[in-house]
Structure 1
Amino acid sequence: MAAEPAYTWDNANPHATDQLRHLTAVLDPPTVAGLSGLGDLAGRRCLDVGAGNGTIARWLADRVGPEGRVTAVDLKPLDIPPHPRLRVVTQDVTAGDLPGGPYDLVHARLVLMHLPERLEVLGRMAGALAPGGTVVLHEWDCTHPLRVLTAPDQAAADLVTRANEALCALMTSRGARLSWSYEAHAAMEDAGLTGVTTAFGARSWRGGSEFCLLHLSNTHHLTEQLTGAGLTAEDLVALREVLMDPRLVLAGYPLYRISGRRPD
């Protein structure tokens, strides 16, 4: 029997802390803006799936008030600081029911796109909702090329493009679905959720910014895998330099926010 594809981003990797720090710096502002649109969270019961370093779980815990509670679940959660209204659960979300429930809000960010069992997990997320509860997903559209708007020279632009293509191919080989962001809307409706809506947006990032630091961290997190995908050690050295060059400007991946509600 063939081995299951390994998850691309392993929190046990020594570079995971930096990778998640840059990721949250990029994604927490739009995530918070999207979740804030749900209104007053006081008293809500919330589940954050794939919580990572826990920044969004703790943000939720700050807002649910003394009558609310938040559960953060991750296969390998990092050291999430304690919070009186936050419970951290170590669990593989592909292997059974989600912990606790029912919930008024179930959130996942950049999780389901990486899981071959994404439809089953989405079904469990919908099933964990209380009547009237909401599922919110945040997913990058990685079918949209990482566009180089400006670069020190054409060779640098080509290297960034080639490295991103290698990264996306690696994720695909490990079970990721790069088009999941815009497929999730229909999947939510198929899961029985109603009032499904999708919003998305993107912005530019200059060399040395958090988005470029994230990609720089990725080159350390996945050095062996990227060299196995055709990049040389010299390529990685040059790539790390250009990602810090302010003459580089990238158009980031569009971030989709997809939400749907369990009928009352």
Structure 2
Amino acid sequence: MFDSARGEAAGRFAALEACYDPVSQQQLIRTGLGAGWSCLEVGGGSGSLGHWMGARVGAGGRVIVTEIEPRWAASRERPAQVRLVRHDVVRDPLPDGDFDLIHARLVLLHLPERLAVLDRLVAALRPGGRLLLEEFDCGWTPVLAAPDSASTALFERVHQALLGLLEGAGADPLWGRRVLGAMARAGLRELSATTYAEAWPGGSRGIDLHRHNTEQVAADLAVAGIGAAELADFHRLLRDPEFVVNSYPLVSVRGRRPLRPEETP
């Protein structure tokens, strides 16, 4: 639903980088990511994590960053061992190579074909290779503080309308809570998961993600009953420091492809 070719994508990527890149970097370190690794970063957005991974693997490693709209990532300078590829993970063949590590953040949530894509990612790992998927659970975003009850109701009404649009576009807003089970069914072993969330006060970089998202789909929200005046009130609320909402919880799930077909958990 969120077209990466639209100008609002730049603000969305910036908010995600600011809030979640440090979390993702720690999760990538936990996979053992190091010098000489061969890595695939799926749906790399603006390229920030792919470039960071390139620094970790060094000149003897490689990182392939795929993106359906690569112009945001192409605007950054990148190490020689990082290659940027225009790629649709649903329709295009995956880049060649048995990867030591594959990472995707907030990609499969948006794809109706997410389970088939998951199987393809697992198959692209070398035996013993690691998969790290990081996805939102959009079902737990409580308002933590608000000027009044009307403000809480406004946020919840607009946010529920947005989640309805996502579902209508084939996304699964609750995918984060389903990822570990899906990875187990895909045959991965040594599964573990961590969930990260924080408070987003009005005017913060994180809460701005709600503004970028709703601006991009304002016309669809209007059809869903959220008119321009109500959306303007919503955006003013997002700038109010007395309003605080829980961030989207980011569920980071790590798993390993078995070394042998008969390997048991």
Please tell me the TM-score bracket, short chain as reference. over 0.9
Matched, 1:198 2:193: yes
CA RMSD of aligned residues (A): 1.2
Matched, 1:72 2:42: no
Cα distance between partner residues in 1 of 2:112 and 2:58: 36
Cα distance between partner residues in 1 of 2:38 and 2:176: 25
Say which is worse superposed, 90-99 or 126-135, in terms of deviation: 90-99
Q: Secondary structure at the match of 1:210?
A: coil
1:257 equivalent in structure 2: 252
C-alpha contact (below 8 Å) 1:97/1:124 kept by paired residues: no
Cα distance between partner residues in 2 of 1:14 and 1:182: 30
Q: Which segments of 5 or more consecutive residues in structure 1 lack a partner in the other structure?
A: 1-7
State the number of aligned residues.
256
Cα distance between partner residues in 2 of 1:79 and 1:112: 20
What whole-Å deviation, never above 9, does each CA across 1:33-89 have from its counterpart, x for those lacking one?
111222351111110111111111111011111110000111112332232111111
2:207 equivalent in structure 1: 212
Shift of residue 179, structure 1, vs aligned partner: 2.2
1:186 equivalent in structure 2: 181
What whole-Å deviation, never above 9, does each CA across 1:118-148 have from its counterpart, x for those lacking one?
011111111111121100000111122x211
Cα distance between partner residues in 1 of 2:24 and 2:71: 19
2:38 equivalent in structure 1: 45
Matched, 1:92 2:88: yes
Cα distance between partner residues in 1 of 2:35 and 2:147: 49
User: What stretches of structure 1 move > 3 A for 4+ residues in a row?
Assistant: none
Percent identical across equivalent pairs? 40
Q: Secondary structure at the match of 1:79?
A: helix
Say which is worse superposed, 39-48 or 74-83, in terms of deviation: 74-83
Q: Secondary structure at the match of 2:59?
A: coil
Amino acid at match of 2:133: L
Amino acid at match of 2:70: P
2:218 equivalent in structure 1: 223
What whole-Å deviation, never above 9, does each CA across 1:157-180 have from its counterpart, x for those lacking one?
111111110111110000011222
Q: 1:132 aligns with which of 119, 125, 128?
A: 128
Amino acid at match of 2:171: A
C-alpha contact (below 8 Å) 1:24/1:55 kept by paired residues: yes
2:113 equivalent in structure 1: 117
Change (3 A) 1:137 1:40: closer
1:25 equivalent in structure 2: 18
What whole-Å deviation, never above 9, does each CA across 1:3-41 have from its counterpart, x for those lacking one?
xxxxx1111112111111112211112111111222351
Shift of residue 102, structure 1, vs aligned partner: 1.1
Cα distance between partner residues in 1 of 2:34 and 2:83: 17
Cα distance between partner residues in 2 of 1:232 and 1:37: 45
